[in-house]
Structure 1
Amino acid sequence: MKKKYFLLFIALQFTINTFSQQDGYWDKERSTTKEIKVFARDRIVIKIEDLPLGTTEIVYRITLLDENQQLASSLVSVLKSIPDPTGISQGSAGAVFVLSKISGDDKCTYAIFPKEDLAEQYKDSGKTLESCLIQDEPVSKDAKRLSVDKSSCLSNDVTSLWFGFESKNWIMNQKIILEVVPWVDKKLSRGWSIDNRKSIIDQCKTSNLAQKMSNSDNFCVCVSDRIQAKYKFQEFQKLLPMERSKVFKDAGDICLSETNASPAISADLRKEASLLIKNGKYGLAIEKLAIIINSSKATILDYNAIGSCYLLTKQYGKGLKYLQEGEKLDNTELLIQLNLAHAYLLNDNYKEAKKIYKKYQNQNVTDSLSWVQKAEQDFKDFQKAGIQNEDFERVLKLMKEW
């Protein structure tokens, strides 16, 4: 008995999870249920309720009833047992499932139109050439599923549909029940169509931040996702230009700091900064490195690189600031210790610089480069950048004597 209840519990959990993970829903609030009386040998056109934003599919059911007949169950109640449109086959088995359990003896033909003027032409002349679906074989009941990808009745610019009926009863009036239930995609219901999402990504790519990246695709997709999660498209469109700019900036800051977005972006920026430094373009390298540091994901080598660039562009105070911040991450990194000594020297603090130069003079900054050799290289780079200091030679001489 316990096993039986356990299996029942598992089955119930699976059903709940299946329903909760759907990407859309049957919109019963904006479904259409209309009872129509059609005079003998007459044609009539019925407009359904406006389709909600994000409609990707509809299921409709047409039932002709005798005078005193009533529907056994509404289409909405039938669809409650179907979690998504894929549960409805387009074949005859699926159609029978959603068909009314009863119908009258009367029959009609019908056609569906995406525009009102086309439907009115049908009403006047019976022409169906412009219809998106036609049922020219008389039926007493019918049901179909229409989807955006397989039917011209549904597209981005279609907001409603018109059903045209023609009575095939030459004597008596007919009673037709028309039911239409739309399936709404949750994401598209927020207005974020493919074109709208692309417009945000394209706008992101023109931003100063994105243009500093060699490949901004991952970054801009992240920004787009952030904006979509916070705003409906119509809400975003109503923002003032300055408000939109702030939204982009805030989303960009988050995307830079996120684990899944930051590594790839930071790697690209480091490569670009490294190339710029090799070509002596230190100012541009600072811009790249500043993005990494502002993302709160910078390494000690990022701080070392930006500190060095500031020194080489004669911004000695800023250089010292970033090198001191980097030292807090790892005070055993000798590359940053050497640059700290340079920064103190260039900021006219020879006493503090001398302490550091002396402390590490017998060590290597890398596995193959000594502290003294690296100091000599750095002083040459400073001189190439137009930075002259009489203490350069003094420091080298002292390090060799110590």
Structure 2
Amino acid sequence: MILEGKFVKESTMYIRSLLVALSLFVSPSWAQKAKGHWDTMRTTSETIEVRAGERKMIKTNAFPEGTTEIVYRITLMDDNQKLASSLVSVLKAIPDPTGISQGTAGAVFLASTVSGNDKATFAVFLDEKAAKTYLTTGKPTQACYTQPNPINKEARLLSATHGCMKDAPEALWFVFQSDNWLMKQKIVLEVVPWIDAQAATGWNPDRKAAFLKLAVKRPIAFYLSQKETFSVALLQQVMEQMNFETYHQLRPEERELFLEKSEKAVLKELGLEAKYAQKIHDQALRLFLKGKTKEGIEQFESAIQSGMQDPLLYAGLSYCYLRTKQMTKAATLMEQVSALSSTDLRLQLALAHVYLFTDRVSEAKALYKKYVMQNLPDGTPWKVKALLDIREFERSGLPNQDLPKIKRLLE
């Protein structure tokens, strides 16, 4: 149990470190300016009548995905009064919540210019049960915000850190209590949500953490030493392309195709394509040389079929085909990649080998001779690698009477 607890703790810390990395990965300019909009279509605008001494409840409309802050305005009206302008129209002049000053100045700016003489107190709750308890008892012990002083108008911004908004509620419950002794009163409640552009994607911290936990276990991560960097970049790539709801609704096969495409984009973005191809090549060739020829070849084929076009993979697969006497497959493969790179020496060497074992000896000799004084991309001399391959072909029992001549040419 102690070991299990330690593992869970370390896993949690690991995911947190990835989330920190993600926060650094995002451009700093994003954090400096709020990006989003006032949702003027999904507002709450309710008018109720409250009898003297009565308490009455209003539930706001459900907040849209991405709501991080709200502005509310409460106005008590006399019978013949009407609002001069709606809260929505006032907010059109304010591009984002940072334009609303806190405290009294903000309240004066947002509050209605028209209000009556009646007054009321109110409290705000996070759930209906707590609101109904207040309706019965009059004790706002579970409220996230209270206004115990009777008011005839009030306007306020509830920010993302406010007790009513910090846990991203789906709605809020406002409960009003009339301060009148005899007469009923009319109360108007207006609520406008602020939709944060990033939060609207649905990728909250818990969902990001869950994705990162799976990302580091994906097959591609097995071959990468920079698993954390890759996982964070993959999450960023996915978030930029679709919101969480869309991603979540993908069928398993659709999601896999989408992730594979995103992984390729991340490999290219991070400059890891060549390293990844090298890892795949080394793993596949290791399997092949250990006698697991089928598994090794299948791993090469799978990588190429997935869209990877690194010359190293084609050269490796061609070598395996020749070693297992699959000359036609090797020749077909080289035909497919002829346009891939006419200058890559790994492909040119693979092509020379194919020519040698498909009755095109003169063309093979020309290639062997042409590059005999050059080096492969990893620094290995062409002739050293060519001789090593030819000796392996001999050990594999590949029939070719020209092998001794080619060796002399290279030596």
Normalising by structure 1, report the TM-score.
0.76
Q: Where does residue 364 of structure 1 map in the other structure?
A: 373
Quote how far apart the aligned CAs of 1:222 are: 6.5
Quote how far apart the aligned CAs of 1:332 are: 4.4
Contact 1:216 1:265 in 2 (8 A): no
Q: Where does residue 7 of structure 2 map in the other structure?
A: none
Tell me the SS of whatever aligns to 1:361.
helix
Tell me the SS of whatever aligns to 1:37.
strand
The answer to whether the aligner puts 1:75 opposite 2:87 as a matched pair is yes
- Aligned counterparts of 1:106 and 1:22: Cα–Cα separation in 2: 37
- Aligned counterparts of 1:159 and 1:268: Cα–Cα separation in 2: 46
Contact 2:44 2:192 in 1 (8 A): yes
Quote how far apart the aligned CAs of 1:60 are: 0.3
- Aligned counterparts of 1:387 and 1:263: Cα–Cα separation in 2: 43
Q: 1:115 aligns with which of 90, 112, 127?
A: 127
Q: Where does residue 30 of structure 2 map in the other structure?
A: none
Q: Using the aligned pairs only, state the percent identity.
A: 35
Q: Once the two structures are superposed, what CA deviation does each residue of 1:349-402 show, in whole Å capped at 9, x if it has no partner?
A: 2x3134322554373131886654433222234456x4554647523455279x
Q: 1:106 aligns with which of 107, 118, 127?
A: 118
Letter paired with 1:394: P
Letter paired with 2:76: L
Q: Where does residue 268 of structure 1 map in the other structure?
A: 275
The answer to whether the aligner puts 1:84 opposite 2:93 as a matched pair is no
Q: Once the two structures are superposed, what CA deviation does each residue of 1:270-290 show, in whole Å capped at 9, x if it has no partner?
A: 342465478565667767766
- Call closer, same or farther: CA 1:289–1:83 in 2, change over 3 Å: farther
- Aligned counterparts of 2:306 and 2:233: Cα–Cα separation in 1: 14
Quote how far apart the aligned CAs of 1:71 are: 1.8
The answer to whether the aligner puts 1:352 opposite 2:360 as a matched pair is yes
Contact 1:337 1:356 in 2 (8 A): no
- Aligned counterparts of 1:287 and 1:271: Cα–Cα separation in 2: 16
Letter paired with 1:151: G
**Residues 201-240 of structure 1 aligned to structure 2 (within 5 Å):** 201-215=212-226, 233-239=244-250
Contact 1:138 1:168 in 2 (8 A): yes
Question: CA-atom RMSD, angstroms?
Answer: 3.7
Letter paired with 1:319: A
**Residues 3-402 of structure 1 aligned to structure 2 (within 5 Å):** 23-153=35-165, 155-156=167-168, 158-215=169-226, 233-239=244-250, 243-253=251-261, 255-256=263-264, 258=265, 261=268, 264-273=271-280, 275-276=282-283, 293=304, 298-312=309-323, 315-346=326-357, 349=358, 351-358=359-366, 360-361=368-369, 363-366=372-375, 372-382=383-393, 386-387=396-397, 389=399, 391=401, 393-396=403-406, 399=409
Quote how far apart the aligned CAs of 1:122 are: 0.6
Q: Once the two structures are superposed, what CA deviation does each residue of 1:121-156 show, in whole Å capped at 9, x if it has no partner?
A: 111111111111111222222111113333334524
Contact 1:76 1:181 in 2 (8 A): yes
Contact 2:40 2:88 in 1 (8 A): yes
Quote how far apart the aligned CAs of 1:259 are: 7.9
Quote how far apart the aligned CAs of 1:56 are: 1.2
Contact 2:59 2:171 in 1 (8 A): yes
Normalising by structure 2, report the TM-score.
0.75
Unaligned stretches of 5+ residues in structure 2: 1-32
Quote how far apart the aligned CAs of 1:297 are: 6.4
Unaligned stretches of 5+ residues in structure 1: 1-20
Quote how far apart the aligned CAs of 1:254 are: 5.5
Q: Once the two structures are superposed, what CA deviation does each residue of 1:326-346 show, in whole Å capped at 9, x if it has no partner?
A: 443443444433322322334
Quote how far apart the aligned CAs of 1:43 are: 1.9
Letter paired with 1:184: I
- Aligned counterparts of 1:335 and 1:39: Cα–Cα separation in 2: 88
Tell me the SS of whatever aligns to 1:52.
coil
Tell me the SS of whatever aligns to 1:122.
helix
- Call closer, same or farther: CA 1:259–1:70 in 2, change over 3 Å: same
Quote how far apart the aligned CAs of 1:200 are: 4.4
